[in-house]
Each structure stands twice: as structure tokens, then as C-alpha cells.
Amino acid sequence: MSRRLAYVTLLTKASYLPGVLVLDHTLRSVNSAFPLVVMATHSLPEDTLGVLERRGIPIFPIASLHPPEGLHSLSSHDTRFTDTWTKLRAFELVEFERVILLDADMIVMRNMDELFDIEMPPSWIAAAHVCACNPRKLPHYPSDWVPENCAYTPLVHPSSAAVITEQSPRPYTQLNSGLVVLSPSLYLADEVRRHLFTSPLVSTWSFPDQDLLSDLFRGRWKPLPWYYNALKTLMVIHKPLWRDEEIRCLHYILADKPWHARVSEDDTREFAKSHRWWWDRLEQLGQEMKEETEEWKLVLANVAH
């Protein structure tokens, strides 16, 4: 019997449909052997679900997941994280032996199916580090998020992942949850839910699911090389480490998603180059979907004109 493996992402609203479709397109373009599965909440409109179905993308209906009411609040700057607790439902997908959880604001640039075969102890996860530099000096970010505490600061190519030791600054123990390798199980799913509902730290977390995973799996997560979750900011902040040709999966962190604004060829702003990569792939997707007129209109309705 073949192994049950899948890439998984979450979709709760139509505004992220372009991201999911481009992510699916890029996985297929690098000849991944495994499908992208979408966890969809009841809030997702029927026409959006219809596009996924007609694209042949498997859908797993799930319920939203949040901490008890009043226990956690988000900065007005980070309201986009409201639904991200629900990503943790991936631990419940026991139909699969292993999944790779991906955010919808990503593109895959090189085949990374090898992640399904990395060795991990039971009940461990794997992920790349956060970048703790906080270049925009956002006041609601943790006070120890400064360049000297960032796991990427000492790295120079060809180094690719930091080693966590007992002397490491706290941010070294924090993962970015844009890409997480995990083995679903009822035990882990229950452990995640109990931590969400009972941890005294919930109210202190700045980044919902990400802080939960960093806390719950402290000492039992495997650091992955930066290029499996290549945060777009690393291109600017950590130039000694960054190499375009090394990227497996590019992550469009921050509030300005690539589909929010078109990028001209002569745009030289700091993230313009990486955002053009997304628009190039959207154009390729459009060529695939040109006969599916209504579906393509729905995609275009959720990107900048």
C-alpha cells in the first residue's frame, strides 16, 4: 500500500483563494508526487469551494479553532492572524501518515518532497526558525526580538540552519509556522488543544499558532534549513545567507501579500523582486485556467487590478 502523504493548507475566506491556487500550481510545476489538500472552514463561500473542486484539489471540511473567548487578543497590526489557530487542525488529519503544513502565502520553487522522509523522533515536528530581527521596530513584538538574538544572524552561505543549545537566546527556540512537518495523531491533536485551552501563556503570545507550537514543542522540534521556509525578508536582512537558487519554498510574510498590488518590471522596492515571482506564477495559472472563465473571474476579483 502506498504511503499517505500530503501538503496541507488552510483556507477560510475567498481573499486567499489566489494564494492557494498559486501554491497548488507551483507544487505541480516542480513535479511534486503528493497533492495539496485544503482544510476549509464553514465560512468559505460556495463559489470558492467550487473552484477548488473543479481544480481537483481535495477539501477537508473542518471547524474553526480558537482559545477560550477573552483569553487572547491581537494587535490591530496583526488581525490577519485571527484564523491561524485553525491551522492546528492539521494534527487531526490522521488519514495521513505525515503532512507538510503550508501557509497560503507561499510559492514552491524547487521540489521538496524529501521533507516527507526526514527522520524525526515520535511526537516531534520540524520547521525553520523565526527571523527575530524586527527591522520595522514594531512595538508589540517581543522585546528580545533584536538582530543579535536572531538565529539567522550568524549564518553565512552555505550554512543553512542554526543549532539550538542551552546557551542560545530565547528566539533560537522559536519556529516559523509557515511550513511545519508533522505526523498527525489523535494524541498530538489532543495535546495541542489542551495546551491552547489551558496554558497560562496564551494571553502573552504575539503570533497565535506559531507561539503555541514553539512553546508546546520546545526541545522536540527539528530546525530546518532556511530555504524550506524562505521568509521574503531574509533576502534583505540576511544577505550573507540568502541565495535565490537555494529556495525551495518562499514565504510572503508581513501584511502586504503579493496579490494586494501589482509589481512593474522596473519596480526596485525591497520586496518587488520576490513579489514579481508570485505574479509570474499567477500568469502561468491563468493560462491553465483560461477555459474556466467564471473560475478565473473569481480569482481576478481577489487580486489587485
* Residue 49 to residue 288: CA distance in whole angstroms: 18
Q: Pairing relation of β-strands 175-182 and 125-129? A: antiparallel
Q: Which residues contact 72 (CB under 8 A, 6 or more apart)?
A: 202, 203, 205, 208
Bond before 158 cis per omega within 30 degrees: yes
* Residue 216 to residue 192: CA distance in whole angstroms: 8
Q: Is 117 helix (H, G, I), strand (E, B) or coil?
A: helix
- Residue-wise pLDDT tens digits, 224-279: 999 999 999 999 999 999 999 999 999 999 989 999 999 999 888 889 999 999 99
Of the CA atoms within 13 Å of residue 144, those in its CB half-sphere come to 11
Q: What is the pLDDT at residue 3?
A: 82
In this structure, what C-alpha cell is assigned to residue 198? Answer: 489551558
Listed as ranges, residues in the chain with pLDDT below 70 are: 1-2, 70-82, 291
* Residue 128 to residue 147: CA distance in whole angstroms: 17
Look up the pTM and report it.
0.94
Q: What is the pLDDT at residue 77?
A: 46
In this structure, what C-alpha cell is assigned to residue 78? Answer: 496583526
Q: What are phi and psi of 98, to 5 degrees?
A: -150, 145
Q: What is the pLDDT at residue 207?
A: 87
In this structure, what C-alpha cell is assigned to residue 153? Answer: 544572524
In this structure, what C-alpha cell is assigned to residue 5? Answer: 502523504
CATH class, range 5-300? alpha beta
Q: What is the pLDDT at residue 82?
A: 67
In the chain, how many H helices and how many E strands? 7, 10
Q: What is the pLDDT at residue 71?
A: 58
**DSSP for 21-32, written as a single string:** HHHHHHHHHTT-
Residue spans of the domains in the chain: they are: 5-300
Q: What is the pLDDT at residue 125?
A: 98
